[in-house]
Structures are given as C-alpha cells and as structure tokens.
Structure 1
C-alpha cells in the first residue's frame, strides 16, 4: 500500500473512530475476541479467515496492532480496511502501543518512515474506543482497570490505566514492573469493579503468554495474546469466541513455514 493510500484510509477511519464513544457497546450472538497482533500480518490474515469460517458476526480487537513485528504498517492498513467495510462489526480498541511514546520507539515509526503519516496515525489511535461491553455483561479492554470505577466515566483523554494496568494476585492496587505510572489490580478490586458495573466477565490483552492465554480470578478474567512467534519467541497465539453465553478459547500456531493453524480448542465455559 502506498503512503497516499494509507493517508486516505486514516482520514476515512478517523472520522468513524471520532464518532464512536470511549466505551462502545456491542451486541453479537457470535463474537470473536482477539488480543495483541504486534505487526504479525500472517496472524491477522489467519484470524480474519477463521472469523469467516466460524461465521462470527463481529470481531473485536483488543489493541497493540503495531510495533515489534515486521509488518506493522501492513497490519494497520488491513485493519483500517476491515473497519471501513464493517464499521459496526469490526471493533478496534486502543492499546498501549497505539500511543506515540511507544510506537516511535518500538518499530512502527521506523517502518513508516514518514513524520506526517506518523502524526496522522497517532491522531487516529487517539480517537479509538478505549473499552467495550459485549452483550451488556463482558467487559473488554487492552490492559486493565484503575479501580472499582463506573465504566460510564471512561474517557478517551484519560485512558492510561485502561491501556497499561495488569491483574495481580495481590489485593488492592499495587505497583507494576512496567514502570512508575502503571499499576496492578487485585482480586478484591476486580470483584468490586465487576459488581459495581453488573458485569460477569472481563477480557483483556497486553501480556505475552507462551500458551497464548491465561485465566485469572476464578476464570472470570481471560487474558489473550494473539501473535505467535512474538519477538523471536516460540509462543503460540490464542483468541476467544463468545457465542451466546459460552466462551471458547482457541490456540493457534505455526503449521508450516508460512501458515498458521488451530492447535487446540478449549472446552466451553459459561460467561
């Protein structure tokens, strides 16, 4: 894709993102939830193919589309094309790498090699929704939560904790190994947040797991990572299908030199 074509895509999709609220609500009987992509175009193409094969009516990406992978620009372009074709069924949440502080340093800026497109890309990122609620009960976000807060108060301007925070087995809000500003939220904070907002489950991304996913807090929080072979590791990826009141987790990884395939599908769990 040429720089002109990407610029046009950014202009068109920025208008869509601007109209979407910080907290977007999704109704779907068969939703696909995807974690970090990080410039892995082969993973993205595989996931889109699987969505079609599974007849998912919507697909929700949890952020971190660029950086650390070889094809950040191609991944971004593909996602923006998908958004234009299905503005109501393709949901793109903002991740912590959809910020200039991160994507100037971890590969996207260097690959893009154009300051004006870099500024335009990050302006589009700033307009993206921060979180989503699927079918009124499943909270989706890239990172985590700042505490037991009302989700109706989530804003695009003050999104940092939703992009950066992580779950922890320790009670309360505790310091994070990621730096000074990020924090970790414990099971008590999580339970209070879920009760306050009448939610049953949370899905998030942000953390690279060797097996592609992990469950937290008595299987009420699912953390997904959807970029196999991330940064030279031999990890697999995972995605989830939320179908009616059941959640299924699927693991996928390399099946050949240039292809991915599903390795295992977990047993269904009630949301």
Structure 2
C-alpha cells in the first residue's frame, strides 16, 4: 500500500507542479466540494452524485486529510481521479495539506513513515491555491490576505489563502485560530472582488452545523463537506454550478448511509 501511495504522490507531484497557483476553469456544470477530512464514505457519496449529475468538472477546496479515520484512502482516491482526468478534477490546497498541521492531526499517525510523509507534503506544496470558474467565481480554501490582484497569487505565499476567515469587522483583524492567521472584513472582501471583476467567492475551512453559510450579502459561500465531523451531528454540503446558476446540496446520515437532506437553489 505504501509503495502504491508513494507512486501516486510522485505522479501527482508532476501534474500539480505544471499547474499555476490560480487555475482557470470554464464549465457548464461543475461540482464544488469543501473539506473532506478523511471521510471516505462522504467522498464516495459526493462522487456518486457527481456521476448522477454528469458534471464536467469537480473543484475540491482542500483539507482531504486529518481528523477522520481514512485520510490515506481519501488521498489515494482523489489523486487517482486527478491522474485519470487532470483537467476535470481540480484539487486545491487546504491548511491541513501542510506538514506543521498534518503531522499532529491524524494523517501522520496513519502513514507512520517519514519518507512517505515528506513525499506527501512535497506534493501538497505544489497544489494550486485557488481557482476561478467561468471568469466570475473565486474558489479557495480559506480566504484572502487583502485586496490583492489575482495575478499576484503564488504557491510560495499561500498561508493566508489557506487560513483566513471572513469577519464582521472591517479591515484585517486577529483570528481565534492563532497569532498568524487573520480575518478579513466586508470592505476588504468587496475591494478584492471588484478589483478582480468577480461575482462570488466559495470557500471551505469552517466546520458548519448546517453544512453551509452565506456571508457578505450572499456574495461569499462557505461549504463544509464532512458530515459528523469529529463526532458532531453536523450536516455537510457541496455546491453545483450549472449554467452559471448555483445550487447547494445538503447531506447527512440516514440510517447506515448518507443521503441528501435538501437542495437549496
């Protein structure tokens, strides 16, 4: 198993290295997926829905590993998809795709192999940071460092794109996540969106009881795709962009399997 994962990581490294920090996608039907956190069952459910909906593209917002019990299997699954359809599957980097976080939150405990762990994180470091769908929807794991231009996004300065959160306070403010992460207010968000001619931001990073939340006059959508996160009773969600119309699918456990709770247009 370790040899198979090592090869997957090496092959994926080359693909991610060839991709820019900001990926542009044109799609008539795209599925946008939030944090998975080692929940293989939830991932397989979303992939089943994707097949049913016949989506052209899937955009994952990061946090494939940690917290759940099947980080390696989730990682193998998404990397195999990436290798099979590199243009259709966009895998963005999350804050748990960093070695200082995934060493202590479950991923390393599954691997228990230093060489494999280092290869995984070298591969994570080459992942794209963000994506723009149909020239109007900005996808990212956390948020923004300020009203930066899209042309300035790079993989070497990814931290705030992976860690930032929206805030009810204007400007840049402190975060409860630690001393280095930060929050951005509606004024910063609006300036960023106008500067880059964007209409919507879709992000992950935040565990939500309902699975999703709107912010900033419904110009920002947060989604979280891991139900029952760390033993909680939360629902999860993912978004469908079809002909530039956005739908939110909410799902949770019914009996022994996951099923849709509702579809919000």
Q: In which range does the TM-score fall when normalised by the shorter chain?
A: over 0.9
* CA distance in structure 1 between the partners assigned to 2:155 and 2:148 by the alignment: 15
**What is the CA-CA distance between 1:256 and the residue it aligns to?**
2.0
Q: Which residue of 2 aligns with 1:128?
A: 127
**1:265 to 2:263 alignment:** yes
Counterparts of 1:223-262 in structure 2 under 5 Å? Answer: 223-257=222-256, 259-262=257-260
Gaps of 5+ in 2: none
TM-score by length of 1: 0.97
**1:78 to 2:77 alignment:** yes
Counterparts of 1:29-178 in structure 2 under 5 Å? Answer: 29-178=28-177
Provide the alpha-carbon RMSD of the alignment.
0.5
How many residues align? The count is 265
**What is the CA-CA distance between 1:255 and the residue it aligns to?**
1.6
* CA distance in structure 1 between the partners assigned to 2:61 and 2:244 by the alignment: 20
SS at match of 1:157: helix
* CA distance in structure 2 between the partners assigned to 1:183 and 1:244 by the alignment: 34
**1:213 to 2:205 alignment:** no
SS at match of 1:203: strand
**What is the CA-CA distance between 1:67 and the residue it aligns to?**
0.3
* CA distance in structure 1 between the partners assigned to 2:184 and 2:144 by the alignment: 7
TM-score by length of 2: 0.99
**What is the CA-CA distance between 1:245 and the residue it aligns to?**
1.9
* CA distance in structure 2 between the partners assigned to 1:168 and 1:90 by the alignment: 30
* CA distance in structure 2 between the partners assigned to 1:82 and 1:245 by the alignment: 24
* CA distance in structure 1 between the partners assigned to 2:244 and 2:103 by the alignment: 40
Gaps of 5+ in 1: none
* CA distance in structure 2 between the partners assigned to 1:142 and 1:211 by the alignment: 18
* CA distance in structure 2 between the partners assigned to 1:154 and 1:73 by the alignment: 29
Superimposed CA distance per residue, residues 140-163 of structure 1 (whole angstroms, 9 cap, x where no aligned partner): 000000111101110101100000
**What is the CA-CA distance between 1:244 and the residue it aligns to?**
1.6
* CA distance in structure 1 between the partners assigned to 2:152 and 2:255 by the alignment: 46
